[in-house]
Structure 1
């Protein structure tokens, strides 16, 4: 009889747990978890190995199902049912443009703080993530927005990459799903005291591990045409937008084969992307709260945060706003999605129109005060 380490997987979270058990060709005795000390169950070696194989297959199937759900390649509904579903969804998530006056009325007497996702919000979704450029008109709009309200870009991308796209030094940037936050070097005119700039990186200890996993994933996914691995410094993104759907299972198996050796990393999913992140309790919602606190609005009732995003990872921020009972979340989507956002916009062009209206409203309000 020998002792072997066996990895047991949680199909819901994708986490791995290694347990030590005695294995022989005769019946195997596995000690139960600490909740039931002293108890043993008897299973055969053949059945044990089969169960581990089945659990692995189930996790892969679960990942692929989730990939399809978050990244549909075609619309399954009929045109009539799609219209009906969309109309019903819009009742609960009306257009932020059509409800603009209501949003403004709710913000009166409060400081608006803007939080913006990048891909799919300020720039269109493109096949090559390195070419997700925002338009000059959108950049000019965001620049004007930052003059009127404290503004932050919150993205899954590496902070430096997002900055290279946006190129506006007056903004706050939260890259890698908020695990890399930096404020303007000269501070913000809206900040209530405190030091001029901020730099917050709660997952710094994971940097060597992230680099290691990135290199392994690049090597593993070479055999899958269209797959692209992006190092976002504090997380790794595996893009499958250009991968044929029939190859998604192979890609999921390749990612799993790497992740199984890194229990301190977890998998999450977005639009045509698998995200590998540290297991720390940090996300875009936590980043939103950190930035509000950095600006001096931690426990204030006179703040009105507005978060605009298009991805599943933005739901963490939408939920924070709903739980706080402050401000609103706005989902960017042409199709109905499960969301905790209060309002919706269909595409980046509508986002730009909404931001422009905010700027115009603020400028008119300022002129009105100066004339008094």
Structure 2
């Protein structure tokens, strides 16, 4: 049984929070140490990194533990898109999923209900992924499985910039404009600013809705696994902790507090984890 820590209150969103976003890499490998700058850290910093990895162990190293806990349970997979299935890039429109990752997602969806929950519009995510066998929840889950696109909740009109120095000015301008619109609020994701309606809805609510739709509202025979890298994914991690079932997996090589249980270093480790899940099921079915 994995000890679960009490969910903490998320930090308030700051307009310059995008500065925290950066590409992640693999915690246990030399590659991650180099890309995350761990190789250049002092001994104390390396010790802190090791402590973080102890607190959020690799889902790959803990894979058998996860599989053992999943026995006699129905696994349900939830995935973020940007930074989880595709790398973080300067232009969100060019955040393409690789053929290998698409294949891994397709394979895991053959065995488990699989959903992508993204800040993008559902149509945009579907366009990027192109797999008909998945559940798609766009705009942080506000347009889950809707047959008609909801323009109020779509998130295609992201404010983008290639000049990092202009972000604080842009964020302040958006903040000033929104003072006249109390029913709208400014939030942030990876290298984007977003304007969202004030609705009590987030990725955590999307997870609950999908589990309910799949017939698992009060089920003890389900093991949800949510993989994500962004602050907005913390709501989903908190839901799984509150249910005392399932695992949140944070995609990050940079030590940071999270409501997740495990970690993965980057998209390549996400692909490996999904592939291992699919292969395990295939071996059990043989």
Under a length normalisation based on structure 1, what TM-score does the superposition of the two structures give? 0.66
Show the counterpart of 2:80.
Answer: 117
Show the counterpart of 2:172.
Answer: 253
State the Cα distance separating 1:276 from its structure 2 match: 1.5
State the Cα distance separating 1:250 from its structure 2 match: 1.2
Residues 318-360 of structure 1, C-alpha deviations (whole Å, 9 max, x = no match): 0000110010000001111110100000111100000000001
Please provide the CA RMSD for this pair. 2.4
CA distance in 2 between partners of 1:172 and 1:116 (Å): 10
Unaligned runs of 5+ in 2: 1-10, 24-34
- Answer yes or no: is 1:232 the counterpart of 2:155: yes
State the Cα distance separating 1:72 from its structure 2 match: 6.6
Unaligned runs of 5+ in 1: 1-11, 15-61, 183-198, 211-230, 368-372
Show the counterpart of 2:264.
Answer: 345
Partner of 1:144, secondary structure, is helix
Match of 2:115 among 145, 149, 152: 152
State the Cα distance separating 1:200 from its structure 2 match: 7.9
Match of 1:63 among 6, 10, 15: 15
Show the counterpart of 1:318.
Answer: 237
8 Å Cα contact 1:180/1:200 also seen in 2: no
Partner of 1:238, secondary structure, is coil
CA distance in 2 between partners of 1:76 and 1:328 (Å): 28
- Ranked by relative contact order (alpha carbons within 8 Å, sequence separation 6 or more), the top structure is 2
Residues 47-81 of structure 1, C-alpha deviations (whole Å, 9 max, x = no match): xxxxxxxxxxxxxxx533x343x337998996124
Partner of 1:181, secondary structure, is coil
Q: 1:76 to 1:136 in 2, by over 3 A?
A: closer
CA distance in 1 between partners of 2:45 and 2:194 (Å): 30
CA distance in 2 between partners of 1:72 and 1:115 (Å): 22
CA distance in 2 between partners of 1:79 and 1:92 (Å): 19
8 Å Cα contact 1:179/1:200 also seen in 2: no
- Choose between structure 1 and 2: higher strand proportion: 1
CA distance in 2 between partners of 1:122 and 1:239 (Å): 20
CA distance in 1 between partners of 2:97 and 2:45 (Å): 30
State the Cα distance separating 1:275 from its structure 2 match: 2.0
